């Protein structure tokens, strides 16, 4: 029963991810006075791409073909670790939050290799930028997550969320810092606006798009889907760690439905915030990204410090 | 001390302490003057919140007066005055980059650890919550000094000085549960006078070296080279 629900929840993650991307695009369009595409447009795009014949360069090795599958499955596995509608999952007992970060690193490794594989200038440029950013973002993310895990004294995400739920509303200074750090890292890692512009293929400053420029057809569909999944994963992580109220604690059908509604509402709200931020903020110069990420790291460090200084029992 | 077991007042004070510390860090990393002044006003606003919270929970009505004074002086008057001067002297578009920002920020983090380490012996004589709030306010003082050392604009120095005063004020509110009214009025008046004096200094510095970048003061020599 537990495993069934865990698998169902993973599937739900994968199915809902394009919807979140569609909703985000809808909010952004409305804020910028443009006519918005339908909420289901990302699904249509994925369908269209997967029906097209992929074109692969003759210089491509086997790595280029297998990478999209690896990236998608690693991201999907990471998604099963994160509690979406219910805590106390068998999957998050077997893999903790560090494994999740490891899955992200795995997917990114293959994405950058695939970017290098064809040998175009753009691919290599995008790969090197992605690696630069992720090498700075990952420590910041781990710092923010360690703050949470030190509070809950477990690295198991279900356990940590259950711990936060059990304690009720406690004002924790360390969580404020960790929340801001995690938001900054999430924006950097999912390639949203101050770092990377997800809506363009025609900029010299592009990062994610530069790596996947050579992909087409179903390979592109898989990679797009994986990045939508990653966006949703970060959203769920932020929503469920810091505002876990509403998530189901038992497997009763009523609780599960309530949990699903709660997480959908939280994600919709989060997407509105992201859309507002993306509308207000201009894209950053590439060489200022390290300042941005070192600020995120500093916030994570402060969160940890204030956990030890202000909260820890001694 | 586990934070889950303390009362709501302590939790709120600790959260506010953390936020005040955060604004100090934000000021340290700011390279634009107008934004620096805005963050300074934000810190003043957090102080106002702390003071009125203390007034409410300690049932100490004269703290409301000091909260109102803080709001009036540190959130409205001084930021407004600094902003007006920056706009008048037309330096609000200057981006003043720190030479080694990451080093300064990490230095700030280690100052925070240091201030905690220094205050650790006090744990025997006071409650841990008080100690934590004191450690944060000491680090706000030290971060204000670091701000004055690392930035070159005179306006940033003034903001650093004022944030040192903010740190002391925070410590006073948290540790003494409100100073006597006379002392608070005196401090508020001092800050006001200091702000006016700094305005005059700005004018003099500017008329003598035609800039507010205090590094240029090093070039002033008695003897022409």
All structural domains of chain A with their residue ranges: 2-311
Q: Mean pLDDT over all residues of chain B?
A: 83
Q: Measure CA A13 to chain center.
A: 12
Mean pLDDT for the stretch of residues B64-77 = 89
Contacts of A296 in chain B (CB under 8 A): none
Residue B33 has pLDDT above 50, yes or no: yes
pLDDT for res B209: 74
B15 contacts on A by Cβ (under 8 Å): 171-173, 176
**Three-state SS at A17:** helix
How far apart CA A230 and CA A224 sit, in angstroms, is 10
Structural domain count of chain B: 1
Phi, psi of B95 (to 5 degrees): -100, 120
Task: Give the residues across from B95 on adjacent strands.
Answer: B32
Half-sphere exposure of B13 toward its Cβ, with a 13 Å CA cutoff?
29
* B110 within a domain of the structure (yes/no): yes
The pLDDT confidence band at residue B1, using thresholds 50, 70 and 90, is very low
d(CA B131, CA B129): 5
Question: Do the domain assignments include residue B78?
Answer: yes
Is residue B224 a part of any domain in this protein?
no
Q: Would residue B146 count as lying in a domain?
A: yes
B12 inside 8 A of chain A by CB: yes
pLDDT at B5: 67
Question: Are residues B2 and A313, on separate chains, in Cβ contact within 8 Å?
Answer: yes
Write the DSSP symbol of residue B73: I
Q: What is the pLDDT of residue A181?
A: 93
pLDDT, residue A285, reads 84
Label residues B20-58 b or e (16+ Cβ within 10 Å = b): bbbbbbbbbbbbebbebbebbbbbbbbbbbbbbbbbebe
Q: What is the mean pLDDT of residues B151-168?
A: 88
Q: Which domain holds residue B136?
A: 3-214
B222 occurs within a structural domain: no
Q: What is the DSSP letter of A287?
A: G
Confidence of residue B123 (pLDDT cuts 50, 70, 90): low
User: Would you state the pLDDT for residue A53?
Assistant: 92
Reduced to 3 states, what is the DSSP secondary structure of residue A241? helix
Separation of CA A6 from chain center: 19
Residue B220 inside a domain? The answer is no
Q: What distances in angstroms separate CA B9 from CA B3, B42, B58, one per listed residue?
A: 11, 21, 10
CB of A154 within 8 A of CB of A163?
Answer: yes
Mean pLDDT on B161-173: 89
**Predicted pLDDT at A133:** 92
**Chain B residues 79-118 with a CB less than 8 Å from chain A:** 101-102, 105-106, 109, 112-113, 116
Q: Inform me whether the pLDDT recorded for B143 exceeds 90.
A: yes
Q: How far is B112 from A96, CA to CA, in rounded Å?
A: 31
Instruction: Tell me how far apart the alpha carbons of residues A111 and A280 are, in angstroms, rounded to a whole number.
Output: 30
For residue B4, name the pLDDT band (cuts at 50, 70, 90): low
Give the closest of A167, A177, A313 to B18, CB-based: A177
Q: Are A218 and A49 in contact (CB under 8 A)?
A: yes
Quick check: B157 and B134 in contact, CB under 8 A?
A: no
Q: Nearest-CA distance from B160 to chain A in Å?
A: 20
Per-residue pLDDT for B2 more than 70?
no
CB contact under 8 A, A295 and B132: no
Distance between CA atoms of B143 and B27, rounded to whole angstroms?
9
Residue A139: its pLDDT value, please? Answer: 92
Is B225 within the bounds of a domain?
A: no
Judge if ipTM > 0.85: no
What is the distance in angstroms between the CA of the first residue and the CA of the last residue of chain B? 63
Q: How far, in Å, are A249, B28, B131, B214 from residue B75 at the CA level?
A: 45, 19, 27, 26
Has residue B190 got a pLDDT over 80? Answer: yes
Task: Give the pair of three-digit tokens for residue A194.
Answer: 């101050």
Joined together, the tokens standing for residue B170 give: 């925070």
In which residue ranges of chain A is pLDDT below 70?
202, 312-314
User: Which residues on chain A are in Cβ contact (under 8 Å) with B8?
Assistant: 171
Say what the pLDDT of residue B80 is.
Answer: 92
What count of CB pairs under 8 Å joins A to B? 68
What is the SS3 assignment for B71?
helix
pLDDT value at residue A138: 92
Cβ atoms of residues A267 and A239 within 8 Å: yes
SS3 A87: coil
DSSP codes joined into one string, A49-72: HHHSPP---TT--HHHHHHHHHHH
Percent of chain B whose predicted confidence (pLDDT) is above 90: 17
Give the separation between CA A72 and CA A226, rounded to whole angstroms: 5
Q: Which chain A residue has its CA at the smallest distance from B11's CA?
A: A171
Residues 6+ apart with CB under 8 A from B189: none
Mutate which: B8, B22, B116, B132, vs A, most A CBs within 10 A:
B22
Region of A33 on the Ramachandran plot (φ > 0 left; ψ -120 to 50 alpha; else beta): left
């Amino acid at each position: 029963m537990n495993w069934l629900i865990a698998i169902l929840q993973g599937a739900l993650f994968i199915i809902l991810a394009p919807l979140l991307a569609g909703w985000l695009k809808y909010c952004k369009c409305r804020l910028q006075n443009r006519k918005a595409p339908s909420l289901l447009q990302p699904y249509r795009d994925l369908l269209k791409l997967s029906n097209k014949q992929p074109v692969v360069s003759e210089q491509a090795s086997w790595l280029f073909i297998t990478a999209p599958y690896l990236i998608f499955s690693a991201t999907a596995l990471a998604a099963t670790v994160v509690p979406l509608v219910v805590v106390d999952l068998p999957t998050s007992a077997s893999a903790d939050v560090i494994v999740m970060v490891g899955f992200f690193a795995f997917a990114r490794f293959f994405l950058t290799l695939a970017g290098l594989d064809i040998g175009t200038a753009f691919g290599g440029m995008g790969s090197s930028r992605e690696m630069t950013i992720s090498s700075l973002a990952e420590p910041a993310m781990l710092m923010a997550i360690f703050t949470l895990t030190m509070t809950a004294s477990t690295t198991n995400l279900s356990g940590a969320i259950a711990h936060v739920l059990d304690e009720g509303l406690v004002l924790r200074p360390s969580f404020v810092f960790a929340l801001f750090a995690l938001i900054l890292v999430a924006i950097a890692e999912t390639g949203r606006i101050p770092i990377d512009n997800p809506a363009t293929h025609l900029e010299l400053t592009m990062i994610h798009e530069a790596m996947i420029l050579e992909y087409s057809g179903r390979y592109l569909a898989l990679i797009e889907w994986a990045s939508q999944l990653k966006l949703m994963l970060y959203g769920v992580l932020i929503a469920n760690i810091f505002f876990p109220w509403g998530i189901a604690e038992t497997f009763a059908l009523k609780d599960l439905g309530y949990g699903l509604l709660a997480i959908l509402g939280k994600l919709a709200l989060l997407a509105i915030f992201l859309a507002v931020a993306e509308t207000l903020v201009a894209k950053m110069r590439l060489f200022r990204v390290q300042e941005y990420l070192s600020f995120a790291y500093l916030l994570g460090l402060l969160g940890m410090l204030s956990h030890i200084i202000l909260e820890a029992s001694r | 001390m586990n934070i889950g077991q303390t009362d709501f007042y302590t939790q709120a004070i600790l959260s506010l302490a953390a936020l005040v510390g955060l604004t100090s860090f934000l000021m340290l990393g700011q390279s634009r003057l107008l934004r620096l002044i805005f963050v300074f006003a934000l810190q003043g606003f957090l102080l106002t919140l702390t003071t009125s919270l203390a007034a409410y929970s300690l049932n100490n009505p004269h703290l409301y007066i000091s909260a109102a004074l803080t709001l009036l002086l540190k959130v409205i008057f001084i930021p407004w005055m600094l902003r007006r001067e920056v706009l008048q002297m037309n330096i609000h578009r200057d981006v003043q980059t720190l030479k080694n920002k990451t080093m300064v920020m990490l230095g700030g983090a280690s100052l925070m650890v240091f201030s905690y380490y220094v205050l650790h012996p006090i744990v025997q004589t006071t409650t841990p919550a008080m100690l934590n709030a004191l450690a944060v306010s000491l680090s706000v003082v030290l971060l204000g000094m670091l701000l004055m050392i690392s930035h070159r604009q005179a306006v940033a120095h003034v903001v650093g000085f004022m944030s040192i005063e903010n740190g002391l004020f925070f410590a006073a509110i948290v540790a003494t549960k409100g100073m006597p009214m006379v002392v608070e009025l005196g401090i508020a008046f001092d800050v006001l006078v200091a702000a006016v004096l700094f305005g005059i200094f700005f004018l003099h510095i500017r008329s003598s070296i035609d800039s507010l970048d205090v590094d240029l003061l090093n070039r002033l020599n008695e003897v022409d080279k």
